[in-house]
Structure 1
Amino acid sequence: MLQLTSSTHRLDRMAIGLSGLCLVHCIATTVLLAFLSAAGGFLGAHWVHEVGLSLAMILGAFALGRGIVDHGFMMPSAVGGLGLGVMGGALTLPHDGTEAAFTVLGVLILALGHDLNRRGTQHPF
């Protein structure tokens, strides 16, 4: 059980780190697009968002799913799933700042889910 918990903590820390990178990416893209339109061609490319969301979904499925097995609480996975859903929905929005705002919101909700998952494995009730 301790080994599973340690593995889950590592996955959650990695997922929170990926969420942080996504947050930095979104903010940096918005700032760079405002000041340097040439940088927007690469950082604002749709495939960058699709790859990032795919990585978040894969890592989220492992970390949040593992948390259910470790501590038995479904709420962290539900919160994380909501965050992933908001991030996925943001891909359908126009690139006028709306997509970035909803992506940041989704990232924050997903990070909350991972934090709840991490806390659930640390202090089971």
Structure 2
Amino acid sequence: MKDEAAAICSGLCLIHCIATPVLLSLGGLGLVGSLFTSEWVHVALFAPIAALAATSLPSGWKRHKRWVPGAAGFTGLALLLAALFAPHEAEVVLSISGGLLLMAGHLSNRFHCRRGAPCESATC
């Protein structure tokens, strides 16, 4: 359940990152435009995403022993964190790539947890 919620949060972050530049380029957004670009919105989106990643990815690893979902997820989380401090030009690229990696990590974690079989080989 945590991975589904985390994937949804990451998806909302992606929608925000893609929709904001498009909506701002259309102009005339007024209050909505200032809300979308406000720094606190980015922090408010990052906080639940980080909390869900910190709880679901390690517990998934304990269950299925595959490192790829956690590596993808935490790399995506690191990119999202970097986007909070990056210059505006790099923020969108870091946010979109981080969100996609994080979603992939959560969905992969969910898949492996549902399969339930631990990995026996060293390549997992």
TM-score range, shorter-chain basis?
0.7 to 0.9
Match of 1:30 in 2: 21
* Identity percentage of aligned residues: 36
Match of 2:45 in 1: 52
- Within 5 Å, which residues of 2 pair with 1:30-109? 30-36=21-27, 38=30, 39-96=32-89, 98-109=90-101
Match of 1:117 among 105, 109, 115: 109
| Partner Cα separation in structure 1 for residue 96 and residue 68 of structure 2 | 21
Note the alpha carbon deviations across 1:17-67, whole angstroms, 9 max, x for none.
Answer: 111111111111111121225233111101111111111100111111210
- Measure the CA separation in 2 of the matches of 1:95 and 1:42: 16
Measure the CA separation in 2 of the matches of 1:60 and 1:79.
11
User: Runs of at least 4 residues of structure 1 off by over 6 A?
Assistant: none
- What is the alpha-carbon distance in structure 2 between the residues aligned to residue 118 and residue 60 of structure 1? 12
Matched residues, number? 115
1:92 alignment partner AA: F
CA drift of 1:15 comes to: 0.7
Normalised to the residue count of structure 2, the TM-score between the two structures is 0.84
Q: In structure 2, what is the Cα distance between the partners aligned to 1:53 and 1:25?
A: 12
Q: Which runs of 5+ in 1 are unaligned?
A: 1-9
- 1:69 is displaced (CA, Å) by 2.0
TM-score (norm 1): 0.84
